[in-house]
Amino acid sequence: MITKLEPELFMTVTGLTVQDFHLLVGLRVFNTEQMNQAVFAFRRYEDASLRYTGIESHEGLTHYGLYNTVVAVE
C-alpha cells in the first residue's frame, strides 16, 4: 500500500525505490513467511500500543493485510 500511496516515504524508510523493491521481490530475496510474521507482529504491537493510549485506530477491523497475504484478526 505504501508503495502506491507514499513512494517517497517508502524510499525514506527503506532506502529502496519502489522499482528496486519490486525487482528484489521478483528475485525472491525476501523470505515471505518471515516478512508476514514481522508485519503481523508489528500490527499487533501497534494496535496494543494505541489501545493503551485510548485510541482504537481501526474499529471493526476483521482482517490484517500482511506482506503478501491477509489473515483474520481473531
pLDDT tens digits, one per residue of 18-63: 999 999 999 999 999 999 999 899 988 988 898 889 888 778 888 8
In terms of phi and psi (left: phi > 0; alpha: psi -120 to 50; beta: otherwise), the region of 38 is alpha
Q: State the SS3 of the chain.
A: CHHHHCHHHHHHHHCCCHHHHHHHHHCCCCCHHHHHHHHHHHHHHHHHHHHHCCCCCCCCCCEEECCCCEEECC
pLDDT, residue 31, reads 92
- pLDDT at residue number 1: 72
63 - beta bridge partners?
72
pTM for this one? Answer: 0.68
